[in-house]
Structure 1
Amino acid sequence: MKLVGMISFAIIAMLTGLGIKGIASKNAVLAPDYYASFSSAAPLEQKYSQLGSYEVASADFPSENKAIQTYRFWYPAELEKTDKQYPVILVVNASGTPAAKYEAWFQRLASWGFVVVGNEDPQTGTGETTSLTLDYLLHLPEDHMLYGKLDTNKIGLVGFSQGGAGALAAATEYENGSAYKAIFTGSAAYPFLSENLGWHYDLTKVKIPYFMVAGTGTSDDRGVDDYEKEFGGVSPLAAMQESYQLLSDHCFKVLARAVGAEHGEIFARSDGYMTAWMLYQLMGDTEAAKVFAGEDAEILHNIHWQDVEKNQ
């Protein structure tokens, strides 16, 4: 079944214009301290939305792939002087939003001790360029400055909007997807919408801890009766709940929606808990785990989040 042309056109326009608030336009950039304006009464959300303790450096490397253009790495500056290995987070861009458009976001995440990897692909929904980027970092030559510095047993995957669909595709539709150890998506295009736009992923194949979020605003959830007959928003609650049920119960899974957030706002609204999820899953951080694990998890009591479901 295909959505009618007019609806499909509207969907594409929304995904392109709302990939991440304020950075889909050609010249827009994130302020270096964009996170400073975020405030939460939930102490762990507030903590992990801000800078970590690591000074951050970055490096770019050319790609022969025309969509990727450049492999981009942000990492703890101490990496250049130590033999320590660092966990990796691979980031899948939202529509029309190459990594160069939101460098401050990568820098903030890297300050928590991750090597954060991006590229310049503005259309990531198939997961292909994400898979190619993963291949690149898994097979660095011995003379590469990052050779031996990446803990390839601890690789996380993050994607927003179209990039959420692309992250799920990268994890489920490519052989090297087995390398990922945790996934987070922000307002990922829901399965029926993704199929209509040529972005296929199979939630039943997700075998790693998965944290999915979206906003309650109408751009994510239009409140339609049947989201397979009309556009339901980019990530409606009913579709998220169906996706949650398709996920294996053998892996930790969490669903939550940011109260009042529109599609383009979920990027900043989810920053703190996305960071906590990756610290928990990739580093075993016991404080970050308190956001999610157990009956007293912070996310269950945070008034800025609703519709929370989790299986641990």
Structure 2
Amino acid sequence: MNYRHIILFAALAAAIPFAPLEAEDKISPDYTMEIEDQGRLEQFYRMNGPYEVKSQVLSKGREEYGGYTYTLWYPAGLGRYRSWPLPLVICLNGTGGSAENDEPLYEHLASWGFLVLGNSDPQTGPVWSGEYGIRQMLLLNGTKGSFLYGKVDTKHIGIIGYSQGGAGAWHALDRDHGSAYTAMATVSAVTKSISRRLKLDNWLYDTGKAKIPVLMVSGNGILDRDFISPLKEMNENFDAMTRAPYAAMGRRKHTDHLDIQRDADAYLTAFFCWQLKGDLRGQEIFTGPHAELKENRGWEQVRIKE
């Protein structure tokens, strides 16, 4: 455990729920070159996609949207692509996090042909920032003269949450636009033991409500393994997803909480390419007797329900 892990562990154990805890590191712009992947398709989706990416602030400091900053990453030349409307992915931060920290991840996902919305909310567990975000996107999509008019594929919307944002992703299903989501991924989502230890009932969630495909990933390092996403509780959450049409879970080896976002990014990208764009190459990772996720030596504790 390095000093960053020690600091994070001590801060969380102190149970100061609303302090700006640094549970999220700033992602390096060169992260795709720093990771060794074991899977053939994992390596493929680690690369950037075919599109150049731009970003634009949708709103900043507006009271009706919680006062947060909402930033959209999208393929450059949005209006010229025949492939539009494009699928949308709403992203939720971990504790103390911000889209600014994760910009390289959002650029990577957008380069594969997605609209990717992040925000500056450091406490995404209650998921109001996620609800405000999708509300803005759908409003702009239906507003003539907007640069997003008609550009959002409203039938293919995903949500991804990291750490307490994983709880937020589950809570998003209960908000006004919960029925708009068609796929979900969580990354080292907080589980019930840490939520109860920190007396944060608004982090508790019920995976049995899922009626959409779900991917849950985590690391096997000490923070995820023993504190934030224990395997026993991940398995319980997986077992509860009896109504989900598809579910998968896995833990990346030699990876802990502060690195799992970037290390799992290739498979997260592939999952949304499959679920939101019908990408058959991405599907090979997650389905069939020889699903790459199952056979990848860099992952363990993999379970798949098709």
The normalised TM-score by structure 2 is: 0.88
Corresponding position of 1:52: 49
Task: Give the stretch that moved more between structures: 123-132 or 244-253.
Answer: 244-253
Aligned pairs (5 A) from 1:105-254 = 105-140=105-140, 141-171=143-173, 173-194=174-195, 196-197=199-200, 198-222=202-226, 233-254=227-248
Quote the offset at 1:240 in angstroms.
Answer: 0.3
Tell me, yes or no, if the aligned pair for 1:60 and 1:73 is still in contact at 8 Å.
yes
Task: Give the stretch that moved more between structures: 294-303 or 246-255.
Answer: 246-255
In 2: Cα distance, 1:280 partner to 1:74 partner: 20
Name the SS of the counterpart of 2:288 in structure 1.
coil
Tell me, yes or no, if the aligned pair for 1:68 and 1:119 is still in contact at 8 Å.
no
In 2: Cα distance, 1:67 partner to 1:100 partner: 17
Structure 1's 123 and 280: CA in aligned 2 closer, same or farther, altered over 3 A? same
Quote the offset at 1:208 in angstroms.
Answer: 0.5
Q: Does 1:70 align with 2:69?
A: yes
Q: CA RMSD in A?
A: 2.2
Quote the offset at 1:80 in angstroms.
Answer: 3.2
Q: Aligned partner of 1:121: which letter?
A: D
Deviations 1:137-174 (A, max 9, x none): 11223222112111011001111101111111112x21
Q: Aligned partner of 1:77: which letter?
A: A
Tell me, yes or no, if the aligned pair for 2:221 and 2:257 is still in contact at 8 Å.
yes
In 2: Cα distance, 1:201 partner to 1:253 partner: 17
Unaligned residue ranges in structure 2 (runs of 5+): 1-9
Quote the offset at 1:120 in angstroms.
Answer: 1.0
Corresponding position of 1:268: 262
The normalised TM-score by structure 1 is: 0.87
In 2: Cα distance, 1:256 partner to 1:81 partner: 38
Deviations 1:28-85 (A, max 9, x none): xx33222111221311011112211111111112241374522211111121334621
Tell me, yes or no, if the aligned pair for 1:221 and 1:237 is still in contact at 8 Å.
yes
Quote the offset at 1:217 in angstroms.
Answer: 1.1
Structure 1's 194 and 55: CA in aligned 2 closer, same or farther, altered over 3 A? same
Q: Does 1:296 align with 2:290?
A: yes
Structure 1's 302 and 82: CA in aligned 2 closer, same or farther, altered over 3 A? closer
Q: Aligned partner of 2:160: which letter?
A: V
Deviations 1:169-227 (A, max 9, x none): 112x21311100100001000034335313242211111000001111110122xxxxx
Quote the offset at 1:94 in angstroms.
Answer: 1.0
Q: Does 1:79 align with 2:83?
A: no
Task: Give the stretch that moved more between structures: 36-45 or 295-304.
Answer: 36-45
Corresponding position of 2:104: 104
Percent identity reads 36
Q: How many correspondences in the alignment? A: 289
Tell me, yes or no, if the aligned pair for 2:22 and 2:97 is still in contact at 8 Å.
no
Structure 1's 110 and 68: CA in aligned 2 closer, same or farther, altered over 3 A? farther
Name the SS of the counterpart of 1:153 in structure 2.
strand
In 1: Cα distance, 2:221 partner to 2:20 partner: 17
Quote the offset at 1:103 in angstroms.
Answer: 1.2
In 1: Cα distance, 2:161 partner to 2:170 partner: 8
Corresponding position of 2:4: none
In 1: Cα distance, 2:100 partner to 2:11 partner: 30
Name the SS of the counterpart of 1:71 in structure 2.
strand
Deviations 1:278-297 (A, max 9, x none): 00100110011000101100
In 2: Cα distance, 1:68 partner to 1:94 partner: 18
Corresponding position of 2:273: 279
Q: Aligned partner of 1:39: which letter?
A: E
Unaligned residue ranges in structure 1 (runs of 5+): 1-5, 24-29, 223-232
Deviations 1:237-280 (A, max 9, x none): 00000000111254100010111211111111111100010001
Name the SS of the counterpart of 2:259 in structure 1.
helix
Tell me, yes or no, if the aligned pair for 1:97 and 1:122 is still in contact at 8 Å.
yes
